[in-house]
Amino acid sequence: MRKPMIIVFAAGALTLPTALLAADPAAGKIFWNTEYSQADSSPARRCATCHGQDLTQPGRHAKTGKTIEPLAPSVNPQRLTDPQKVEKWLLRNCNWTLGRDCTGTEKADVISYIKTQ
């Protein structure tokens, strides 16, 4: 009899695989483009602020001006292949953009959206 395979990721990534089961790419796209106003009244931020709206194109870091390689796996196959990298950047980017951590659902939705690009 085949046993179900259990994949265990390092600590932070734990919520991702379970949440992905119910992921909604359409909701992820809306999330991607939603602007979040800032407590210090600096300009509103969204994921697209640095990564752009077309994920197959390079982005531009809002603070440093550095080019960010495209997030779309269709043109950049290394994307979303390392769960620890994804968690690390979601933690950092969610806090910068939303002023808080993203919820498990927000992460799952946005990752499923990026995967379709």
Between the two ends of the chain, the Cα-to-Cα distance in Å is 37
Nearer to ligand HEC, 18 or 103 (CB): 103
Nearer to ligand HEC, 22 or 99 (CB): 99
Rounded to a whole number of angstroms, the minimum distance from the CB of residue 5 to ligand HEC is: 23
Per the CB < 8 A criterion, the answer to whether 13 and 20 are in contact is no
Q: Count Cβ atoms below 10 Å from residue 49 Cβ, excluding itself.
A: 19
Residue ranges in contact with ligand HEC by CB under 6 A = 45, 47, 49-51, 61-63, 68-69, 71, 79-80, 85-86, 89-90, 93-94, 96-97, 110
